[in-house]
Amino acid sequence: MQLFKPVRQIGFKHRSVAGLQHNIKNGEKVQFESSLERDFITILNADYCVSEFVEQPMTIRFDDESGRSRSYTPDFLVRYKDDFSIKQLPTLFEVKYRKDLFQSWKDLKPKFKAAMKYADSRKWKFKIITEKEIRTDFLRNAEFLWRYKFDQLNSGEEMDLKIILLARLKELSLTTPQELILASSKSILMRGKLLHALWSLVANGQVGCDLNIKLNMNSEIWDI
């Protein structure tokens, strides 16, 4: 199904943290208007379950309790891949700092009710997400791996290193970065290059690990 396009452009306001970030799910740029939204985009880019997402996907029109016509534009629409055991429904997300959420709850509540009704009518979900759910070890891992997703060594050498690592990982099945690197070469220089290649494999979903736990040299990794 074709994903929505943003319905409005985010302006660069005084004292704002608005900007653009890569959306690697579709190869385009995505807008954000807070550092929290930027962090959420980082998570979406790193989440293997996410197939595509778009910011400011649609404007929902509704009447409030007094009959006044109002509108609400959710921050993101996220769609998920079907090739996982747990099926996740397309989800509309509102990204808010907890403090702002509590302070503006009276005004936000009817908007969120309209969004829930809109989502339900399409068999989607609506979810409010705050810094508590966003700024976790998953985000820190995603930020760490981002540089390895694109920053690769000489392409020919990188491919050779990855072949070595994947072959050794297949033999070991479940291991750690430290054990895999030590088992793959005795050369200190080669081990440095192998480690770079390994994080690139993890960043691109070719080596399994639990991104919900902070990555280190003793983290569990596995062949997928």
Q: What is the domain-level CATH number for residue 186?
A: 1.10.10
Write the pLDDT tens digit of every residue in 4-30: 667 655 555 544 678 999 899 988 899
Q: For residue 193, what are the β-bridge partners?
A: none
Of 134, 160, 183, the position where a domain reaches its end is 134
Whether 213 and 119 map to the same domain: the answer is no
DSSP letters of 51-94? Answer: EEEEES---EEEE-TTS-EEEE--SEEEEE-SSSSS----EEEE
How many folded domains does the chain comprise?
2
Determine, yes or no, domain membership for 1: no
At residue 9, the pLDDT reads: 59
Among the ranges given (3-7, 13-17, 67-71, 148-152), the one the predictor scored with the smallest mean pLDDT: 13-17
For residues 191-208, give the mean pLDDT.
Answer: 95
Comparing CA positions, the residue from 85, 105, 86 lying closest to residue 94 is 105
Quick check: 92 and 124 in contact, CB under 8 A? yes
Which of 116, 134, 152 is at the close of a domain?
134
Half-sphere exposure of residue 70: CA atoms within 13 angstroms, side-chain side: 17
Taking the C-alpha atoms of residue 76 and residue 48, their distance in angstroms, rounded to an integer, is 17
Both tokens assigned to 47: 């989440």
- Kindly state whether residues 26 and 110 are assigned to the same domain: yes
State the DSSP H helix or E strand holding residue 193, giving kind and residue range, or none if neither.
helix 188-203
The pLDDT of residue 65? 87
Its domain, for residue 178, covers 137-223
Q: Are strands 221-223 and 207-209 parallel, antiparallel or unpaired?
A: antiparallel
Q: Are strands 60-63 and 207-209 parallel, antiparallel or unpaired?
A: unpaired
- Tell me what the mean pLDDT of segment 180-208 comes to: 96
Alpha carbon distance 146, 204 (integer Å): 9
Would you say residue 1 has pLDDT above 60? no
**How confident is the model over 75-129, as pLDDT tens digits?**
999 999 987 667 899 999 999 999 999 999 999 999 999 999 999 999 999 999 9
Nearest to 49 by CA among 82, 24, 71: 82
52 neighbors 44 (Cβ within 8 angstroms): no
Confidence of residue 153 (pLDDT cuts 50, 70, 90): low
Global pTM reads 0.88
Rama region for 163: left / alpha / beta (φ>0; ψ in -120 to 50; rest): alpha
- pLDDT greater than 50 at residue 223: yes
Q: What is the mean pLDDT of the chain?
A: 91
Confidence of residue 141 (pLDDT cuts 50, 70, 90): very high
Which stretch of 59-68, 155-164, 168-177 has the lowest confidence by average pLDDT? 155-164
Does residue 185 surpass a pLDDT of 60? yes
